[in-house]
Structure 1
Amino acid sequence: MKILIVEDDVLMADMLAKRIERFSFNNFNVTGMATSVDKAIAEIEREKPDLALLDIELENDNEGGINIAKKINADYKIPFIYITGLPDEVGFVKAKHTLPFGFLKKPYDEASLQRVMELATLWHEKQMYPIVQNQEQNPLVFKPDEEDDIWLKTENNKYEKIVLADILWVKAFDHYIMVQLLNRKYPLTYKSKFSTFYEDYLANSPYFVQTQRSYVINKKYVDAIVDNKIKIGDKLIPIGQTFRSKVFKILGIR
């Protein structure tokens, strides 16, 4: 997710960016920072962020963040979260009519920031990857004669074959799983329990390893490990502390 931070305190903006990018549950990339309305709009035009964090009061403009929000609602249609040091009865009353995605009161704690960013992640993924509504609770069946394939049942009695060797990564997503395949731009999304999919179809393979409670990767496609995250193509996948030793062992790293 590309994030824009609009904050007139540059040090605070930089600290916020570092905290956000350290969260392990998703790939956040702060692609822009702005201290005024004009600079914020220019950043939105240039970077096209997926989410904006807006301070309400900016550089001699008591409603700068609100004015940006109005412009976003009119022209850009991206979610935004207010961050403000104003008293609740002032800041919230001013901001609520612009329909923000969230509202963080300064000084915000780590847990509050993480929760609102996690919700933003789910919202973003549901917009990016429309969920296939399956007709059955468990749409996954093995191909009878080849255990290296899976048939996924979608709508209208259609079956789609997935070759296990082509899976780059699998992510738990609410009550669904997201399956990213080789040579496919976006992951497929199906209704299934993550634990069931992993244990029944991937756990016995020497190529798949769970890196976190919500991620499984195919070691054949690992390009690098960067800041305790596995890089597969453009995707950075977090390595949970309890999974680290097993991941490194399977990758052959000592």
Structure 2
Amino acid sequence: MLKNIKNILIVEDEVLLAQQLKQAMLKHGYRCAGIAIDYKGAQAILDSTKVDMVLLDIKISGEKTGIDVAQYINANYGLPFIFMTSYNDEDTLTKIKALHPKGYINKPLNHATLLMTMDIIFDNMGDNESNYTSITIGTTTYNINLSELLYVEAEHVYIKLHYQSKNTLIRSSLTSFLELMPKNTLVQISRGVAINPKYIEKIEAAKVTLAGVELKRSKNYATNLDQAI
């Protein structure tokens, strides 16, 4: 049994197989974050539920495949995922390899082999396993990718999360959002802006540059920045 129970998302359109896998995981000590049979279902769970790992079939319902789901995971969450598939042609394997999965398990599945693979992956990840954090605002849970988040900006009753490759709006005040985030993850540099200090490139009297973006800084928040560097 692992110290911290992990939440696993199963993306599989064979419902009976997915249910069997869920039962095997629960018995082993994992939690099931949900079962999705298509891309939209997987996306919805990823965007609203804490997920620690994803088990992916390549062929799922709908036009998009498990490969599309893996691309979404890499772009937004940086979560570990394992492909479960009967496809082993050269073209598919090349696409899979380019996505950097943590594992590849052939179907028909051997539950013992899959569960052992999952255990090993989590053990090897250790304290560095999480590049994201989950926060709940109202009835919605948000998965925040800390490795991609550049800065957060207040916009009226919303905040805008500026990632390296996208922007996301959340209905919240900046103060409330920062209170939910892990300590020292973000540093407030003005009344309406908090930044990820690991992306700082240059600090000047009236501005901070991170990842090529110049942001105004306020003297009222100078202590915050001094403590972060």
Opposite residue 112 of structure 2, the aligned amino acid is A
Gaps of 5+ in 1: 130-254
Structure label with greater radius of gyration: 1
Check whether the contact 1:50–1:124 (CA below 8 A) recurs between aligned residues.
Answer: no
- CA deviations 1:92-147 (Å, max 9, x no partner) are 22311000010011012233212211113214543269xxxxxxxxxxxxxxxxxx
Question: What residue in structure 1 maps to residue 49 of structure 2?
Answer: 47
Change (3 A) 1:71 1:128: closer
> How high is the TM-score relative to the length of structure 2?
0.50
Question: What residue in structure 2 maps to residue 16 of structure 1?
Answer: 21
Identity %: 34
Q: 1:30 aligned to 18, 29, 32, which one? A: 32
- Cα separation, 1, equivalents of 2:110 and 2:129: 29
Quick check: 1:71 aligned with 2:76? no
CA RMSD of superposed structures (Å): 1.9
- CA deviations 1:185-223 (Å, max 9, x no partner) are xxxxxxxxxxxxxxxxxxxxxxxxxxxxxxxxxxxxxxx
Opposite residue 97 of structure 2, the aligned amino acid is K
Aligned residues: 125
Check whether the contact 1:56–1:91 (CA below 8 A) recurs between aligned residues.
Answer: no
- Cα separation, 1, equivalents of 2:129 and 2:15: 31
Gaps of 5+ in 2: 1-5, 131-229
Question: What residue in structure 2 maps to residue 198 of structure 1?
Answer: none
Question: What residue in structure 2 maps to residue 114 of structure 1?
Answer: 115
Runs ≥4 in structure 1, deviation > 6 angstroms?
Answer: none
